[in-house]
Amino acid sequence: MITIVGAGRVGTAAALFLMMKELDDILLIDIVEGRPQGEALDLAHAASILGLSIDIRGSTDFRDMAGSDLVIVTAGFPRKPGMTREELVGKNAEIVADVAEKIKEYAPNAIVILTTNPLDAMTYLMYRKLGWPRERVIGFSGVLDAGRMRYYAAKKLGVSPAAVEAVVLGQHGEKMFPVPRLTTVMGKPLTELLSREEIEEVVRETVQAGATITKLRGYSSNYGPGAGLALMAESIKKDQKKVFLASVILKGEYGVHDLPASVPVVLGRGGAERVIELPLTEEERRGFMESVEAIRANIEQIPKQYLA
């Protein structure tokens, strides 16, 4: 069973994409009575219409997640127009710490994927509260950021986004680090396909994409995260060993110790089974480390009682 904690826009979008893949039965959990039950019932009707063989339920009782082998945490306060992800640290730390205790008690064998912002700091908090191996605590970030970079680069190039392999490392936030030299079309780097000005525009649009969506419609993105979460869940549940950009605790890779950052990881039945180190130039390494330092600063904003 796949449990989704948080039946807001991201949680229900993830449930929809997961439902379409028929990976496993889905449980939506939320603290607001009626919300998860109502969303689940609507999704269950949609599954029936589409002829999908999947059970979708909603609950406000965390005990119902017992037996889940994958828990997706989308709960938390979302960004509002004008807000940065980093401004949510204090508000969401309490939520993540509480959810971690529930997961530890009722789904002790699960792999956890987290979307709550600020993503990297909340991934670190979840990792610390659970006390589990890093392979089983994964922050959803790079799939979304790289997907956005693929979109903007493809528009400039006049090709399908499927033809672009994008790389965005480090923080999921204002200090994310898109890497144009390692972003390729059939092995050819973006730096050889676009002008410096075009690349700067692609990078700027990628970094500002979430804020742009939030400003335009008044609330943050949900379809992009939902789609990415479904792909990651599929690779884990089917043991596909596909490579995704995701935030995991680094243990010396890239010269980083005991901090999370978005890097390429192999996702399979064991979770984030392996970190892949990319060959960065000295300039790129400096940019990556600046992004990591921004993550460290976010973590330092977490109230100390939640890290105890």
Phi then psi for residue 279, to 5 deg, are -80, 100
Task: Produce one character per residue of 77-100: b if its CB has 16 or more CB atoms within 10 Å, e if not.
Answer: ebbeeeeebbebbeebbebbbebb
Q: Which of 172, 199, 209, 250 is catalytic?
A: 172
Catalytic site includes residue 45: no
- Indicate the DSSP class of residue 165: E
HSE on the CB side for 111, CA within 13 Å? 24
Distance from C-alpha of 90 to C-alpha of 118, rounded to nearest angstrom: 10
Please spell the DSSP secondary structure of 200-258, one letter per residue. HHHHHHHHHHHHHHHHHHSS---HHHHHHHHHHHHHHHTT--EEEEEEEEEESGGG-EE
Cβ atoms of 164 and 150 closer than 8 Å? yes
Catalytic residues, by residue number, are 172
